[in-house]
Structure 1
């Protein structure tokens, strides 16, 4: 079995303060693939140009978030922000030919049924959106970091409730 690695541009190549330059630095270091949690601080055409100039594959982005939060998927009252976030995320993912998205749930210190319910609703929206855009869909989502109150089995059960199997 061979392992594949990608450069995380948010953490690597800190000698450059420019995210755009880090694409080329990753290529020079021997990487053929990169991930970047937050490309949204740059215009899409700038990110796309940096990626193409470097000749690397964009393998992962996080869902967009702003105001210093860690996402909106499990946060009641933030449905509009979640929808806007996912719409922007899909726009970037599609242009960058990025097949994997980390859907950010938001920080939920004490999960409740309200968090659980809105999370399911928002994941269903995201799944529909990705499927409509002919993304690889649920099988490629990673980082469902919302902590279910009863553990991982409960979290995976949510995905099955939405009709997705592993």
Structure 2
């Protein structure tokens, strides 16, 4: 049975953040993910999880200055010390929340980056991921990288599934996996089932959203029942993160999830 996790950065915006845990549990979710936990103390989040019988399945490392437009530190030359500090801080939260996987956002290339600049970002990315994977391995955690489409996030360093596989090979860490976001893959590449099959041995987490508007997964151009069926047939037993922006009230829009145990 597919296990759905509510992305609380996007779902249940009708509620204050800490109240979204109860709303997710009441709708039938048993796992949650979100972008960042760092605005709250770990114990606040631990209490919200425990009070509602929820598992924390994923969050991101600190991304740099998000409000200023930064989207990750992992590939940014000159920011290595800050990245290493972010790994230690993320592990502190992951330990408190029993979260098994952390996503390191790659960061943005500068506009009109030349070959030398791209090479510098690549080498920084590889070195930083090796460090992060090593630190996470010490505490039994998985590090994730995610290709993100360049329409939503122009200049993002990692955009394609084949590039992600190259990165895994360059880094060479057993606990480094791919966060396979079907929404991003459809926008960048399409051919979803074939891409899913090829990437499957490397997948550590899956996320879904309708394309192109990033609303409920029963809207738009993607046949999610077929994709979820294929995931199950491949033997995927991880979580599927619902990382979409509700078109209306969140609970009303959950009718698509009845087949997977949700209660609209």
Identify the residue that residue 75 of structure 2 maps to in structure 1.
74
Identify the residue that residue 33 of structure 1 maps to in structure 2.
31
* CA distance in structure 2 between the aligned counterparts of 1:22 and 1:148, rounded to whole angstroms: 30
**Runs (5+) with no aligned partner, structure 1:** none
- Alpha-carbon spacing, 1:124–1:164, altered in 2? closer, same or farther (3 Å): closer
Q: What number of residue pairs does the alignment pair up?
A: 160
**Runs (5+) with no aligned partner, structure 2:** 149-155, 175-201, 203-264
CA contact (8 A) 2:100 2:140 kept: no
The alignment yields a C-alpha RMSD, in angstroms, of 2.0
Is 1:53 matched with 2:63?
Answer: no
* CA distance in structure 2 between the aligned counterparts of 1:55 and 1:154, rounded to whole angstroms: 37
Q: TM-score, normalised by structure 1?
A: 0.87
- Pairing of 1:132-147 with structure 2 (within 5 A): 132-135=138-141, 137-138=142-143, 141-143=144-146, 145=148, 147=157
* CA distance in structure 1 between the aligned counterparts of 2:96 and 2:90, rounded to whole angstroms: 10
- Alpha-carbon spacing, 1:148–1:26, altered in 2? closer, same or farther (3 Å): closer
Identify the residue that residue 127 of structure 2 maps to in structure 1.
121
Identify the residue that residue 19 of structure 1 maps to in structure 2.
17
Identify the residue that residue 5 of structure 1 maps to in structure 2.
4
- Pairing of 1:147-162 with structure 2 (within 5 A): 147=157, 152-162=161-171
* Structure 1 SS opposite 2:58: strand
Q: Deviations over 1:67-103 (max 9, x none)?
A: 2121100011111111111111111111111112111
CA contact (8 A) 1:27 1:56 kept: yes
Query: Could you say which structure has the greater relative contact order, defined with CA pairs below 8 angstroms and 6 or more residues apart?
Result: 2
Larger Rg computed on CA atoms: 2
Query: Shift of the alpha carbon at 1:63?
Result: 0.9
Identify the residue that residue 112 of structure 1 maps to in structure 2.
118
* CA distance in structure 2 between the aligned counterparts of 1:32 and 1:152, rounded to whole angstroms: 28
* CA distance in structure 2 between the aligned counterparts of 1:144 and 1:44, rounded to whole angstroms: 28
* CA distance in structure 1 between the aligned counterparts of 2:146 and 2:135, rounded to whole angstroms: 18
Identify the residue that residue 137 of structure 2 maps to in structure 1.
131
Higher strand share: 2
